[in-house]
A and B are shown apart, each in its own frame.
Chain A
Amino acid sequence: MNLAMFIQHMLNSLTLGSLYALVAIGYTMVYGILRLINFAHSEMFMLGAYFVFWGITLGHLPWPVAMAIAIAVTATLGVIVDQVAYRPLRDAPRISALISSIGVSFFLQNVAIVFFQAIPREVYRPKWLEDPIITHGVRILPLTLFVPLLSLALMLVLIWIVYRTKAGLGMRAISKDIETSYLMGVPVNRIIALTFGIGTALAAASGIMWALRYPQLQPIMGTIPGFKAFIAAVFGGIGSIPGAVIGGLALGFIEIMTVAFFPDLAGYRDAFAFVLLILVLMVKPTGLLGERLEDKV
C-alpha cells in the first residue's frame, strides 16, 4: 500500500465516520435526556432526505431553502411523534417507550413504501459536490471536508445549548430526575418536545448528507446507518455528544481499514461493527465517554 492509497483510505473513513457521527449525535441527544433509544430516528433520517429532494425536484427550490424547509418539517414531525407515541408512555416502564419507538419505526417505513414506492429514487447533487479535488493521486470529495466540519459545528452548538442556555439546564435537570424537575417548575413537556425537535432536525440533516454521499433514496435507507450510528453512540458512550462523534469516527475508520488491510474479509465488515459493540459492552458498558451508570437509574 503506497502513501496516496493510505491517505485515500483515511479520507474515505473520515467521510463515512463523520456521517455515522452525525446520525449518532441525534440518537445520543434523545437518549441523554429521556433515556429512550429512539428507533424511529432512522426513519426521520430517511424522511428528511426525501423531503429535500422533493423540494428540489417538485418544488424547484434552491438547495439551501429546500434543506431548511425539509429540516423544519422533519423536526415538526419528530415533535408530533413524541406527542403521539412517547408522551402517553412517559410514566410507563422505559421498555414500553422503546417498543413504541420500534413500532413507529416500522409504521413510518411502511408508510414510506406505500407513498414513495420501493423503487430507489435518484438524487440531484449540486455541481460543486460532484467534482473531486485531485492532488498527488488522492481524490478528495468536497463532501469529505464538509461533513466533518458540519458535525463539529453541530456538536459545538449542541454543547452550547445543553450547557449555556436555560433550556439546556432544563434538559440536564430532566435527565437527572424527571419527577423532581416537574415539582421544581421545569416545563418538562416543552423541553422534551424541544429535545425531540433538535434530535429529529439532526436526523434530517444527516439523512440529507448521507443522500448526497450515497446518492439514492429508498424507504429502507435509514435502517443500516441507524444501526451503525447506534453502535457508534454506544461505543462513544450513549448520552454523550462528543462520545457520539468519536464513536462515529472510530466506527468509520474500523470499517474502511478492515477492508483496506484484510480485503478477504470485506464482505463481513458489519460483523466487525457488532463484535466491537459486544466487546465495548463487555469491557466498558458505559462506552468511551459515558457517564457512570449510577446517575442513569
Chain B
Amino acid sequence: MRKMMLLCLALVFAFANTALCADDTIKIGVFLPLTGQNAFGGQLELEGVQMAAKENPTVLGKKIELFVVDNKSDKVESANAVKRLIEKEKVQAIIGTYGSSLAMAGGEVSEKAGIPQVGTSCTNPLVTQGKKYIFRVCFIDPYQGAGAATYAYKTLGLKTAAMLVDVANDYSVGLSKYFNKSFTKLGGKVVSTLNYQSGDQDFTAQLTKIISEKPDVLFIPSYFAEGAIIMKQAKELGATFKIMGGDAMDNPEITAIGGSAVEGFVHTTFPYDPSMKNMTPMAKKFTEGWKAAYPDKEPNVNAALGYDAYMIILDAITRAGKADPESIAKALAATKGFQGVTGATTINETHDAEKPVGLVIIKDGKKVYEGEITPEL
C-alpha cells in the first residue's frame, strides 16, 4: 500500500514537472567555446545569439529561455555540454557551435536524443552527414575551399600554391583538402603542404621551407589567433606571396593583431560584413542593433551567424506552430529562402545552408567586403 502511494506520488510529480515545463517557456540551449582555444569566435557568436534573444524574446506567445554552456574548445567537454543541456535543462533545441570538431562531438549526443541542433559556423561536411536532427546556418568547406581556389586562380591569376594546415583541426584539414582539389582541377599546382598543430606559436621552420618553394599564394585554413601570427612571421622571414584563408580568420581584431603583416590578406567568408555596400534590410538592422549594444566593438560574421541560428529556430517554431523537438526539426528541414543577416538561406537535403561565398580583403588596415564569388566545384 505504502509502495503504491509512493508510486502515485512519484507519477504525480513527474506529470506536474512536465506540465510546468511545457507551460509557458520554450527552452533553447546554447553550447559554444567561451574559454580555451576558440573562445574568440565563441564569444562573438554568443553575443549574436543573446542580441537576437533580446530583440525577440517570445514566440507563439511563449517566453524563450536561453541556457548557455561553455564547451571549453574541447571535444569531450562539447559532448558533456550537450548532454547537460538535454538531460538537465530539458531544452527543445540547441544552438552551436563554433568549430567543426566540437560540433561533431556535440552533434552525436543531440542526434541520439532527437533534439534539433543548429550549427553556427561549423563548416566541415561531416557535421551534418547522415544526421536527422543536425542543421547549420553556414555553408560547407568544399564550397568555401573551392571559392578560395577559384578566386586565387581565376580572378588573381595565381598558378602555384602552398598550404599550411592544422592537423589537429577537422576544419583546417577539410578546407585544405577542398582548396587543393579545386585549385588542381582548375589547372593550378600545389607545390607544398606543411602542417602544424593547434596552439603552436612558432611557424618559422614551416615558413622558411615554404618561402624556399616560391609559391604564388599561401593558403592558411587556420583559426584567427594562429593565422595572425603566421602572417607576422611570414613577413619577418621575407615572404612576398599572397596569403589567403577561410572564414575562421574573420575577426575584427585581425588588423589590430596582424598590423601591417595582414595587409592584402584575402579570406572567404559568409556574405556579411559591416563594410558591405549593398546590405539587405536584415543585415542593416543587425549592424545598427549591434552598434547600439556594443558601441566599441565591430560586429563580424560570427556574431551574425549566432544571430541567424537563433532566428532560424524561431522561424521554424513559428511555421510548425508548436515547439516540440520533432516538429522543430521537421520545420527546420523545410526552411526555404529564410532572410537572415548572412543572406537568404535555404536548408538543403544534407541540412546545410545554401548561400553565396563572400570575399573580404584587408586594405589599408581595414576589412573591406569585396563581393561574392561562385565557386567552381
Contact = CB atoms under 8 A, between A and B. Distances in A.
Contacts of A5: 208-209, 212
A252 to B, nearest CB: 9
A216 B225 contact: yes
Contacts of A255: 202, 205
Contact of A8 (B36, B40, B208): B208
Given A5-B208, A118-B34, A256-B204, A267 B232 contact: no
Given A119-B39, A119-B253, A215 B208 contact: no
A221 B200 CA distance: 10
Chain B interface residue number, banded: 35 or more
Q: Which of A223, A260, A263 lies at the interface centre, i.e. has the most chain B CB atoms within 10 A of its CB?
A: A263
Contacts of A263: 192, 194, 206, 209
Contact of A139 (B206, B224, B236): B236
Contacts of A130: 236
A81 B42 CA distance: 31
A223 B198 CA distance: 13
B318 interface: no
A12 B205 contact: yes
Contacts of A74: none
Which of A8, A120, A268 lies at the interface centre, i.e. has the most chain B CB atoms within 10 A of its CB?
A120
Interface in B323-341: none
Given A132-B238, A139-B236, A224-B199, A122 B259 contact: yes
14 contacts: A9-B208, A110-B35, A120-B224, A123-B257, A134-B238, A139-B238, A224-B201, A255-B202, A259-B194, A260-B208, A266-B206, A267-B196, A268-B167, A270-B197
Interface string A247-274: 0000000011111100110111110000
- Among A110, A216, A256, A260, the most chain B Cβ lie within 10 Å of the Cβ of A216
A113 B70 CA distance: 13
A260 B257 contact: no
B310 to A, nearest CB: 21
B39 A113 contact: yes
B237 interface: yes
Interface residues of A, number: 44
Contacts of A256: 202, 204-205
B209 A259 contact: yes
A15 B205 CA distance: 11
A121 B257 contact: yes
B228 interface: yes
A270 B42 CA distance: 26
A201 to B, nearest CB: 22
A220 B73 CA distance: 12
B43 interface: yes
B234 to A, nearest CB: 11
A67 to B, nearest CB: 21
Contacts of B208: 5, 8-9, 12, 260
Contacts of B40: 118-120
Nearest to B255: A122
B42 to A, nearest CB: 8
Interface of B: 34-37, 39-40, 42-43, 165-168, 192, 194-197, 199-202, 204-206, 208-209, 212, 224-225, 228-229, 232, 236-238, 253, 256-257, 259
A9 B35 contact: no
Given A118-B34, A122-B253, A132-B238, A218 B225 contact: yes
B6 to A, nearest CB: 43
Given A119-B40, A119-B43, A220-B36, A267 B202 contact: no
A266 to B, nearest CB: 4
Interface in A102-125: 110, 113, 117-123
Contacts of B206: 259, 263, 266
A204 B196 CA distance: 27
A214 interface: yes
Which 5 pairs between the two chains have the least Cβ-Cβ distance? A118-B39, A267-B195, A267-B167, A259-B205, A12-B204
A122 B39 contact: no
A92 to B, nearest CB: 30
Contact of B205 (A120, A215, A223, A266): A266
Nearest to A252: B202
Contacts of A89: none
A16 B228 contact: no
Contacts of B229: 214-216
A113 B35 contact: yes
A162 interface: no
A6 to B, nearest CB: 10
A215 B202 CA distance: 11
